[in-house]
Every structure is written in structure tokens, then in C-alpha cells.
Structure 1
Amino acid sequence: MPQVAHKSEGQKGAEAEVDSRRNDLGPFVVAAESSRMPMVFTNAREPSDRIIFANDSFLALTGYARVEVLGQAFEFLLAPNADEDHRQQLAAAFSGRGEDLLELPLHRKDGDTFWGGVFVSPVRDEAGAVVQHFASFVDLTRHIREKEHLRFLLDELNHRTQNTLATVLAIAGQTLRNAIDRQDVEAFEGRILALSKVHGILGRHEWLAVGLRELLDRILEPFGIAGEPPSRFTFTGADVRLDARAALNLAMVFHELATNAAKYGALSGAGAGVVAIAWKVEPSPQGDQLRLSWQESGGPAVAPPSRRGFGSRLIEGALADMLGGEVHLDYDPAGAACHIVMPLPKVAGD
């Protein structure tokens, strides 16, 4: 090992241990020294996990000379813009309490900052005690930049989609203002606004997955979910993550149900009507399925509609045609109800 000024006794002992174990771990040490994978060893007996070995690939990655690395605390590799969360992640990984694979902002000798994937693994002695830590590195800078660029493109697409929906809404309002009944125009506008809201939610989640409760909160917000207490909605069920297609279709279903409840059902007038929404996930031979119920009560007596309008067709058709689910609408005089059973596709991260 090259000489480093002001080495502690622990540092000297750790370096000596590496040298003494070269005979036992000869092939591994040779492989580490010649590997294209950047690697370092640290002394786990010191709180700061000082670096006691660094291979040539690590030196090429960071631009440091070996003499400048040995004896340094591992944390010195963190970039100046690393925050407390990054430091806690690193400490947890070295203590065995956190993730083994980290994404951290690191820096090179010339001050350049890069994102590194760092894999931390303990090295144990014959008694099982952790005596060293082995860390390998992958330069993730290109991957992170591509991810940020995709995020920018997705944000721009979401922004343009919102603008397009707003334009459609304005054109429709002007075109239909004197052509048809105002209630039909308002119904159309409400559906476009609901579609815009769910697009906004999915955009924030990169169109990967959205929680059912978040979807309900956003779509039902205009109908009193965030109004004066007590709320006219109750929710029962553990949160469920939905993919984009399921979220889009369920959002439109919830909007139609809430609109109908506000016009004719439990949410109409200033009465004491409420809506109870409950759901659960249950297994089936084809995989997990979502069973959800919308139950109104406390409103005026319910009568079946005289005709099957667009809202009913959307509710019953959206899930059956698009998601392979089943929907049953019940117009019980005590309160309208909707029962939904649909497959629950796995989403990213589950």
C-alpha cells in the first residue's frame, strides 16, 4: 500500500491485514485490481469506514491518485450537493440497515459531479464479524440525464395535453352555447374537466401508476369531498395502485356517478345524503381483482331512469369493454348503488 501521511493505527493495521490476506484471497484481489468495475475496500472497524484499497478502475473513474484516496473516509466521495438524505442512506448501507444499492451524487478530483450507483457489501472474518466493506461503482450519469430528459418530454406532453383539452372545452362551449340545452353543455364540460384532472394525476406519476384514493380525492373534489365537515363521502379499503388505463376509465365512472348523485341522488340539495365507497382486492383464478361498491343513502327516493343515457352507457361500457370488468347499477329507492368487479393488472413497482 502507498504511504499516506497521518495514518491512524487502525488504518495501518487494516492495510496490513489486506496485505496479509493477499495469499488467502490472491485470485480475488488480483481480479479486483484488474477488474473494469470500480471497487474500493473500507475498514469497518473505524466509524468513518476509511478506504484501504482502491483498484485502477476506481482511480480512472474519479481521477484521483491512489495515494490521495487511501486513508480517506468513504463519505469524502460524496459531491458537495449531497443532502442529508444521501448521507443517511450511505450510513444505513454501511451499518447493514439500509439498501445495498444506492444512487448517490459523487465527485471527481476535478470537481465534476456525477451520479454513481454504489453497491455496498460486508466482508466478514472467520467469526462472522464485519471487518471490511466492499463497495463497487457504476457511473449512472448518462442514465440519470436520459431519465431527466424523458421527464422533461413527459412534462411537456402533459402540458400540451392539458392545453388541448382546455381548447376543446372552450371551442365546445362557444359552438354549443345556443345549439343545445345548457345542461348538456355542462355535462360535456364536466367530463372534459374530469379527463383533464386524471391526465394531470397520471402526469405527476409519469403515467406509471396512481393510487385509487388519490384518484377519488381529485375526481370527487367538486362534489364536496373537501368541503365543510362532515364529508358526504366515506371510504373503506386499503389503497390500491392502478395503471393508467384503469385510472382513466375509473375516473370517468366516478365522475358520472357523482354527477348523477348531485343531480338526482344522495348529493342533491342540502340534505343529509351520503355516499359510501368501499373496495377490496381479492384473488381469482385469473389473478387479483378489484371489487368496489358505490352506495348512496339519505337522499330522495330513487327511481330507475326512463331512458339509458350517455352516463349509464359510459359506466357500464367503459369497464366491460376497456378493462374486462363487470358493472351492475342498482336503482333501489333507498339509494342508488354501483357494484364493480374488474381485473387488477400489476403495475411498475408492485
Structure 2
Amino acid sequence: MSEITKKSDQQKVAEAEVESFRKELGPFVVAAETTRMAMVFTDATKPDNPIIFANDSFLALTGYDREEVLGKSFNFLMPHGDDAEVLTRIKAEFGGSSSSGTEVLYRRKDGSEFWTALFVSPVRDDGGDIVQYFASFVDLTKHKEDEAQLKMLIDELNHRVKNTLSAVQSIVWQTLRTPSDPKAIREAIESRLFALSRSHDLLTREKWESAGLLDIVHDALEPFGVSGGRADRIAVTGENIRFPPQSALALGIAFNELATNAVKYGALSNAAGSILIEWTKKTTPAGQQLLLNWKEKDGPPVTPPAHKGFGSRVIERGLAHEPGGTIYLDYRPDGLVCTMDIPLPGGTRDG
């Protein structure tokens, strides 16, 4: 007998069993056919519980045609049929020792996988013997995707909170290292935390994916530009190159430090000074770099500080660590110049 003939005979037997099954259970089969829950019945008198009935919802869920399902082993949808742990749980479900169903990963006809909650109940004859099993499937795929997404969000939130607390700790510790009176310390800490908060707000608007450099600069300088009519004394030119969150936070804090210094001692401390912030991209053997210049002019005469304060340490060390650039502060007599040579992240785009 050929393989094709054998399959044809098996299909006829399965179809005959289904027809007999329909006649025996009548209205219940009609109800099972029309319900939106995926359902099958299996023959409990044969090995592997072959399927003798499958409703339309089960076929829609799995992508199979009815003739492809009837007669198949109940476990034919398992992507790994030899998974002993899963087979044990399914066996327990058929044996009635599971009280709340079991979660199983199955595979559709097209190869895609989906999660279901499997519930199995016995069907007994008049003598109390189990002749069939009634199995229902609740599609958990969306639930599992949402669960994975929620875990990812929690992990990301945990990562951000740790980074933020680390930044706050650094701000407070570095500020306290510089001798000063309590009022000056409080104002310095408040200013830096406010800058960190503004950077967080910017990234939140951007769904924490990235932030454009123009937006980072404008957000950091906005408090300094509005106060005292300084907006027309700050010129910013350059493409809105996007940076990942950690780099954006570091840049935002650095620009806040530069602006704070300019208001206290530099170009924004008098009525005539101005600041030019400009940047360009350049290609090097190591990849694309951002060359940024902060140039102050017409402010009070500049003298190099006797020691580095927290602001200069934040700029030099912070940006050297993240995003990993080279920072140089040049205290020229006619105005401070800060040069940043920063590697651009892979896949950088303008936005």
C-alpha cells in the first residue's frame, strides 16, 4: 500500500469518527464549533490522544486546515516534541492533576510560535470510563509580549534610576569638595539638579530614545538666555545631531556648567559679552567625530583658575567618560574657549 493511499484511509477513518462524534454529542458540538475559544476533542482510547474534532477558532489560531489536523497526535503543535518537562506538564493536565491549566509554547503551520494556556477535561461514557478529552486553548501571546515589554521597561527604569542616583551622588560629593559657604553649596547643588531635571524632561519628550544636540543646548541654556535679556547674546549653529540618553545627560550638564560659569565670571557677567556655540562633523580613521567649540568674547578679562572647581571637573571628566570625548578648556584673556572632540555614536542621524 502506498503512503498516499495509507494517508487517505487514515483521513477517511478520522472523518468517520468525527461524524460519529457529531451525532453522539449533537448540540454541544455545534456550540463548540461556533465559540471563539479554540477547542479540540481527542480520542482517549488511542495512544497519543489523536484529535477527532477541532473548531474553527482552533484552525484560525494554528493556521491549519481541518483535514490537516484530524487524526494528528495532540502534541503535534509542539515545536520541540521531545521536551520532557513540557510533556510532563501536558500529561499532568490530561491526568487531572493540574488544577489551573498549564502554559505551553506551540508552533503554527507557518512556523511562528505562540503561547497558550491549556485546559483539559475528560469526557466519560455512561459507565464512567474516559472516552474522550476536551481541550481548550487561551491565546497568551499578547499577554506574554506585554509581560516581556513590562519587564524590559522595569529593567530600563531601574537602570535609569541607578544612573540618576549616581549622577546626583556625584553632583553632591563634588560640590561639597569645593570649600564654600552653605548658601553657595545649596545654590550650586540646586542649579545642577535642575539641569539634570531639564535633561530628563527633554529625554522624556523623546521617549528616552535619543535627543538632538540643538535641543540639548537650547534646553540647557534656556534659563540663562531668558534671564536679563541674554537670548540675543548666545548664538548656536550646527545640525541637530542625535545622541543616546546617557550622552545627552552628560552634554546637558556640561552646557549648564559652562553657562553658569559665563554668568558668574565670563561673557554673560557683563552687558557686552556674547557666546558662540558651533559644531561640525569630521571623518577620522576611527570614525565620525563631532568638533564643538564654545567661544566667549567681550566679557571681563579671563585668568586661569588657581585650581579646578567642580564645574571644570564635570565638563572634562564627565564628557571624557560619556560620550567618551576629549575636552579642552582654554582660559584665554579675551574669553573662555571650550573645545569638545566627541566620537559620534554609530548610526547617528540628524533630527
Q: If the length of structure 2 is used for normalisation, what is the TM-score?
A: 0.50
Is 2:346 aligned against 1:346?
yes
Partner residue, 1:241: 242
Give deviations 1:54-111, integer Å, cap 9, x for gaps.
xx99x958xxxxxxxxxxxxxxxxxxxxxxxxxxxxxxxxxxxxxxxxxxxxxxxxxx
Q: Would the aligned equivalents of 1:158 and 1:199 in 2 still touch at CA under 8 Å?
A: no
Residue identity opposite 1:284 in structure 2: T
Hey, what's the Cα distance between the residues in 1 that align with 2:149 and 2:342? 34
Shift of residue 320, structure 1, vs aligned partner: 1.9
Partner residue, 2:252: 251
Partner residue, 2:218: 217
Residue identity opposite 2:185 in structure 1: D
Partner residue, 1:119: none
Is 2:327 aligned against 1:319?
no
Hey, what's the Cα distance between the residues in 2 that align with 1:222 and 1:193? 10
Hey, what's the Cα distance between the residues in 1 that align with 2:228 and 2:148? 39
Shift of residue 262, structure 1, vs aligned partner: 0.3
Shift of residue 219, structure 1, vs aligned partner: 0.9
Hey, what's the Cα distance between the residues in 1 that align with 2:240 and 2:279? 9
Hey, what's the Cα distance between the residues in 2 that align with 1:226 and 1:146? 47
Alignment of 1:264-283 (within 5 A): 264-269=265-270, 271-283=271-283
Q: Would the aligned equivalents of 2:296 and 2:336 in 1 still touch at CA under 8 Å?
A: yes
SS at match of 1:222: helix
Q: Would the aligned equivalents of 1:195 and 1:251 in 2 still touch at CA under 8 Å?
A: yes
Distance 1:348 1:298, change over 3 A: closer
Distance 1:157 1:262, change over 3 A: same
Residue identity opposite 1:314 in structure 2: V
Distance 1:227 1:206, change over 3 A: farther
Distance 1:291 1:146, change over 3 A: farther
Alignment gaps of 5+ in structure 2: 1-55, 62-140
Q: Would the aligned equivalents of 1:237 and 1:280 in 2 still touch at CA under 8 Å?
A: yes
Give deviations 1:121-155, integer Å, cap 9, x for gaps.
xxxxxxxxxxxxxxxxxxx9779967985898699
Distance 1:306 1:213, change over 3 A: same
Alignment of 1:150-229 (within 5 A): 180-224=181-225, 228=229
Residue identity opposite 1:298 in structure 2: D
Residue identity opposite 1:221 in structure 2: E
Q: Would the aligned equivalents of 2:293 and 2:339 in 1 still touch at CA under 8 Å?
A: yes
Shift of residue 332, structure 1, vs aligned partner: 1.0
Shift of residue 261, structure 1, vs aligned partner: 0.2
Partner residue, 2:309: 309
Distance 1:313 1:155, change over 3 A: closer
Q: Would the aligned equivalents of 1:217 and 1:225 in 2 still touch at CA under 8 Å?
A: no
RMSD: 4.3
Q: Would the aligned equivalents of 2:238 and 2:278 in 1 still touch at CA under 8 Å?
A: yes
Q: Would the aligned equivalents of 1:274 and 1:299 in 2 still touch at CA under 8 Å?
A: yes
Give deviations 1:30-54, integer Å, cap 9, x for gaps.
xxxxxxxxxxxxxxxxxxxxxxxxx
Residue identity opposite 1:337 in structure 2: V
Distance 1:348 1:283, change over 3 A: closer
Q: Would the aligned equivalents of 1:215 and 1:251 in 2 still touch at CA under 8 Å?
A: yes
Give deviations 1:247-269, integer Å, cap 9, x for gaps.
11111111110000000001114
Hey, what's the Cα distance between the residues in 2 that align with 1:224 and 1:143? 49
Distance 1:144 1:237, change over 3 A: farther
Partner residue, 1:121: none
Q: Would the aligned equivalents of 2:230 and 2:268 in 1 still touch at CA under 8 Å?
A: no
Q: If the length of structure 1 is used for normalisation, what is the TM-score?
A: 0.50
Partner residue, 1:291: 291
Hey, what's the Cα distance between the residues in 1 that align with 2:236 and 2:190? 27
Distance 1:272 1:282, change over 3 A: same
SS at match of 1:337: strand
Q: Would the aligned equivalents of 1:280 and 1:292 in 2 still touch at CA under 8 Å?
A: yes
Q: Would the aligned equivalents of 2:214 and 2:238 in 1 still touch at CA under 8 Å?
A: no
Residue identity opposite 1:277 in structure 2: I
Residue identity opposite 2:290 in structure 1: L
Shift of residue 237, structure 1, vs aligned partner: 1.0
Hey, what's the Cα distance between the residues in 1 that align with 2:242 and 2:281? 11
Residue identity opposite 2:339 in structure 1: H
Residue identity opposite 2:296 in structure 1: E
Shift of residue 245, structure 1, vs aligned partner: 1.8
SS at match of 1:216: helix
Q: Would the aligned equivalents of 2:213 and 2:239 in 1 still touch at CA under 8 Å?
A: no
Q: Higher helix share goes to which structure? A: 2
Shift of residue 228, structure 1, vs aligned partner: 4.3
